[in-house]
Amino acid sequence: MHTLSISELAEGLRARRFSSRELTQHYLDRIAAHDRALNSYVTITAEQALLQADAADAALAADNAGPLTGIPLAQKDIFCTQGVRTTCGSKMLATFVAPYNATLVDKLQAAAPQGAGMVMLGKANMDEFAMGSSNETSFYGPVKNPWDLERVPGGSSGGSVAAVAAGLAPVATATDTGGSIRQPASLTNLTGIKPTYGRVSRYGMIAFASSLDQAGVVARSAADAAYVLQAMSGFDPRDSTSVDRPVDDYVGALNSPIKGLKIGLPKEYFAEGLDAGSRGLIEAAIKQFESLGASVQEISLPSSPLSVPTYYVVAPAEASSNLARFDGVRYGHRAEGAKTLEELYKRSRGEGFGAEVQRRIMIGTYVLSHGYYDAYYLKAQKVRRLIYEDFKRAFEKVDLVLGPTATGAAFKLGSKTDNPVEMYLNDIYTIAANLAGIPAMSLPCGFVDGLPVGMQLMGNFFDEARMLNVAHQYQQATDFHKQFPQGFK
């Protein structure tokens, strides 16, 4: 059952070939058998999952179900889940049990018609507070890549992608601040989409960098992603950054032909730094798009080389503000034996936050400090506007932008942990989309030495339907996304 698509699972549930309880138990059994090797889950909610599955079966029997009712999923451990630990991969929140659900959780797990009626298998491991590109900063240990257990799955949504890639969940939620959906999807042969900023509610999603964070989904195919993103999207009055705009029919648009589509290739994305094997696979994918009727032209995003330094001013600045609330007083980790309030603050934060989070808080505090705000933060915001303007001009000429997702395939565990700058450069192709607020996704385009490689599509604001349609048409003509890692079949 774990090799079936979401539409096949939904059809099987409606045809009574299997029940949601049987499907859920199948995934729980796979988690028990395989997750010790992967470490993709922080918390398994087996008892709750079976209760949700029973409720889904009752809804299916009463013909009161939606298209996703009864289908299991993994929730990234950054979304608040009522009555279940939400740790954000950190010691700081190791005992935090959320008193409410994130909007996204309600949309996916509440019974139809208010929600999709999906079944939560557990909470997926992640880089601490979503800060990382390898899922090695988690307090709960690194996640392993199912394609090679000695390599990283990418981050920060490493637990989400490892669970889906290994068949320990059919789909998973994820978040993307600078590439944390797309980069790990690329390294694990999955399709991952970050929608337009404001398309999916951030209410109940623990904040890293508020102007950049966006929730999305990782799945085995564009069609699977379309079903779940459809259920996740929509206006939320509880989120001041949520956009009150109708949601397109992502599923209905999947089978539209792409003849006449104009694809832009940014020359800056195909310059020095891109692995030769990855370049060859993307060039082959471009030819496939042309055979499907799309036209291709070179474009320029001249400010894109400034994306990484801009991001690593803006994101840490917002993180230093957002994480100030974790002080050992109201909630979160509290140091024992502190004799003064200052000592309580220092020790609680020093013990609760890992090295990468502390590094980014310190950078953020520095760039926001008196005398440096104008020199760093204000200048970074001006460059961010230039990056947005680049995309605005590009979309006057083309419908979508295509390029690499990552510089190469998955790297070895521990190979970059001592060099933060080298680690940060993993997101060199993905960060610009977050700074501009546009939608972007990664989809599989082949393998280099047995390791998966993804390519990236970027669209204009709220053009998720077109991106998913183009990705689906490519996946109808190729079978890279159907490949499964050895040992997890």
Task: Render pLDDT for 303-328 as a digit per residue (tens, 0 to 9).
Answer: 999 999 999 999 999 999 999 999 99
Which one-letter DSSP state was computed for residue 325?
G
Q: Pick the catalytic residue from 19, 90, 160, 180.
A: 180
Q: 34: part of which helix (H) or strand (E)?
A: helix 20-38
Please say whether the beta carbons of 69 and 59 come within 8 A.
Answer: yes
Do you know the residue count of the chain?
489
Confidence of residue 289 (pLDDT cuts 50, 70, 90): very high
Per DSSP (E only), the strands in 319-384 are none
Please say whether the beta carbons of 98 and 81 come within 8 A.
Answer: yes
Domain ranges of the chain: 1-489
| Nearest CA among 295, 470, 467 for reference residue 398 | 295
Angle (nearest 5°) at CA 326 between 324 and 332: 175
- CA–CA gap between residue 270 and residue 275 (Å, rounded): 10
Which one-letter DSSP state was computed for residue 117?
-
For residue 421, what pLDDT is reported?
86
Q: Pick the catalytic residue from 20, 40, 76, 348.
A: 76
Q: 399: part of which helix (H) or strand (E)?
A: none
- CA–CA gap between residue 169 and residue 29 (Å, rounded): 11
Check the CA dihedral 16-55-160-29 and report its sign. negative
Please say whether the beta carbons of 152 and 142 come within 8 A.
Answer: yes
Question: Per-residue pLDDT averaged across 152-179, rounded?
Answer: 98
- CA–CA gap between residue 160 and residue 193 (Å, rounded): 13
For residue 181, what pLDDT is reported?
98
Q: Mean pLDDT score of the chain, rounded to an integer?
A: 96
Dihedral (Cα; 129, 134, 139, 141), 10-degree rounding: 150
For residue 110, what pLDDT is reported?
94
Q: 363: part of which helix (H) or strand (E)?
A: helix 355-368
Contacts of 177 (CB under 8 A, 6+ apart): 130, 156, 208, 209, 212, 213, 214, 315, 434
Task: Render pLDDT for 455-476 as a digit per residue (tens, 0 to 9).
Answer: 999 999 999 999 999 999 999 9
Is 180 known to be catalytic?
Answer: yes
Q: Pick the catalytic residue from 20, 133, 134, 156.
A: 156
- Cα atoms in the Cβ-side hemisphere of radius 13 Å centred on 175: 33
Task: Render pLDDT for 72-103 as a digit per residue (tens, 0 to 9).
Answer: 999 999 999 999 999 999 999 999 999 999 99
CATH number of the domain located at residue range(s) 1-489 in this protein: 3.90.1300.10
| Nearest CA among 268, 379, 250 for reference residue 314 | 379
- Cα atoms in the Cβ-side hemisphere of radius 13 Å centred on 195: 27
Angle (nearest 5°) at CA 488 between 483 and 489: 60
Residue 28 has pLDDT above 90, yes or no: yes
Question: Per-residue pLDDT averaged across 142-160, rounded?
Answer: 98
- CA–CA gap between residue 175 and residue 77 (Å, rounded): 10
Which one-letter DSSP state was computed for residue 460?
S
Q: Within the chain, how many helices (H) and strands (E) appear?
A: 15, 11
- CA–CA gap between residue 323 and residue 319 (Å, rounded): 6
Residue 268 has pLDDT above 90, yes or no: yes
For residue 272, what pLDDT is reported?
83
Residue with the bigger pLDDT between 426 and 206: it is 206
Chain CA centroid to CA 91, Å: 22
Is 5 known to be catalytic?
Answer: no
For residue 425, what pLDDT is reported?
86
pLDDT > 90 in the chain, percent? 95
Is 156 known to be catalytic?
Answer: yes
Confidence of residue 26 (pLDDT cuts 50, 70, 90): very high
Contacts of 66 (CB under 8 A, 6+ apart): 112, 113, 115, 116, 117, 231
Residue with the bigger pLDDT between 235 and 371: it is 235
Task: Render pLDDT for 41-68 as a digit per residue (tens, 0 to 9).
Answer: 999 999 999 999 999 999 999 999 999 9
Which one-letter DSSP state was computed for residue 148?
B
Could you tell me the maximum CA-CA distance found in the chain, to the nearest angstrom? 71
For residue 282, what pLDDT is reported?
97
Q: At what angle do helices 307-322 and 355-368 cross, to 10 degrees?
A: 100
